[in-house]
Structure 1
Amino acid sequence: MVRLVAMMAATFGAVGFTGSARADTWNFDVRLDGKPIGTHRFTVEGPDEAREVTSIAAFDVKLLGITVFRYRHDARERWRGDCLQQIRSSTDDDGKPVKVDRRLESATPGEPDCLMSYAYWHPALVRQQRLLNPQTGEVDEVRIERLPDAAIPVGGRDVDASRWRITSTAPSSGKSAPARQVLTLWRDRADGRWIGLDAQVKGDRVLTYRLP
């Protein structure tokens, strides 16, 4: 679950930022095999040239009332246009502390050094081949494929959604390398807004993000 949480703890948002100052917040309910384990809150604010993104997650997996896995994650990102400029994150991965403090100040839109994190909110995410992992600070190789459209429950109703499969591998490991993680990204077909995320985790379990 660790690799998955790192990816999901990246960023979020909605399609169509206009450049004016604004703030948006998403509060996802997180479930493991259908059972609630916590929440993940995301906030993005500011104009396109100076976006500030915050991601805060808190998970507790219990067995017979006893906590068997605990996860806390707090990440702060700064963007310029479509490029990630800086990331600072602090993670407690079941008692294992991890910190990232990385600057990418030279990143320029349209240039090879322009990287995104796992920014599910961004329309261009589905065209990326590399994404920065917010928990580890590493750059993952990714393969992103369009899946058939389907419906997903959002706020008590079914919403028609577009889907993409995101498969990550270790850097420079080649197309035949085993997958580190496989995610399914859901966006509202009507406006492109990010509305859900699924993932296969250790033990053939399923982790889901859904809006209440």
Structure 2
Amino acid sequence: MKTLVLTLLSTAFASPAPVPAEPPADIVFDVLRNGQAFGRHEVRFDEGEAGELLVDIDIELRAGLGPITVFRYEHAAEEVWRDGQLVSLEAETLKDGDRIAVDVERGDTGLIDLMPSSHWLGYDPAERRILNTETGEAMPVEIEDLGLETVETASGEIEARRIRMTGTLTVDLWYDAEGRWVGCAFEARGQSIRYVLQDA
């Protein structure tokens, strides 16, 4: 297992996007690969004993030939937010047969002001780097606001703002009028991946 333990110091980057004071509704996606079932991506919220916001992220993707698994991806993470700031991030990822563990904590002088790549908070188009939750490293990105359009969910189509983030992948993300993450689509290894929001 590869393990990265990082203490990140504050620096002059853009402030994080507003973090809800109360735990918001959970976000649950069915993930499709070329239109076929591929797995689930869940973001669940709770309140900690000291009033902090706890965010649990669980991704499980699998492709196979009958009972034989030919591709497997797992990502489990917990983010802890306090007073609008990321206090800690613990994550473990299974990717290409390797397990990578990340433990990011607030240092004495504060955590670096990079948004994590967990998508649920959205991104400011002015941001040029985000925190890659798979690796614990800063990741250069370009973010475009592509405007309003409709996106399909399990409950029907809704109007949402489309954001395109280009980094290690080019990912399209959709957010509704309240800023809730409601859709995702990208191409990876020649496969078309699409998220469909479910009723949590």
Structural RMSD (CA) = 2.4
Higher helix fraction: Structure 1 or Structure 2? 1
Q: How many residues align?
A: 179
Give me the TM-score of the superposition, normalised by structure 2. Answer: 0.78
Counterpart for residue 9 of structure 2: none
Structure with larger RCO (C-alpha < 8 A, sep 6+) = 2
Higher strand fraction: Structure 1 or Structure 2? 2
CA shift, 1:124, in A, is: 5.1
Counterpart for residue 70 of structure 1: 72
Counterpart for residue 193 of structure 2: 207
- Preserved contact between residue 27 and residue 181 of structure 2 (Cα < 8 Å): no
What is the CA–CA distance in structure 2 between the aligned matches of 1:83 and 1:202, rounded to whole Å? 34
- Preserved contact between residue 121 and residue 179 of structure 2 (Cα < 8 Å): no
* Secondary structure of 1:136 counterpart: coil
1:33-52 correspondence to structure 2 within 5 Å? 33-46=34-47, 50-52=52-54
What is the CA–CA distance in structure 2 between the aligned matches of 1:37 and 1:29, rounded to whole Å? 8
Correspondent of 2:169 among 172, 181, 185: 181
Structure 1 residues not aligned, in runs of 5+? 1-14, 169-179
The one-letter code of the counterpart of 2:101 is K
Give me the TM-score of the superposition, normalised by structure 1. Answer: 0.74
CA shift, 1:58, in A, is: 1.1
- Preserved contact between residue 23 and residue 46 of structure 1 (Cα < 8 Å): no
Structure 2 residues not aligned, in runs of 5+? 1-17
Instruction: Report whether the alignment pairs 1:80 with 2:119.
Output: no
CA shift, 1:120, in A, is: 2.5
1:28-177 correspondence to structure 2 within 5 Å? 28-46=29-47, 50-63=52-65, 66-105=68-107, 106-107=109-110, 113-122=112-121, 125-168=124-167
Identity of aligned residues (%): 30
* Secondary structure of 1:116 counterpart: coil
CA shift, 1:16, in A, is: 7.2
- Preserved contact between residue 29 and residue 195 of structure 2 (Cα < 8 Å): yes
CA shift, 1:128, in A, is: 2.2
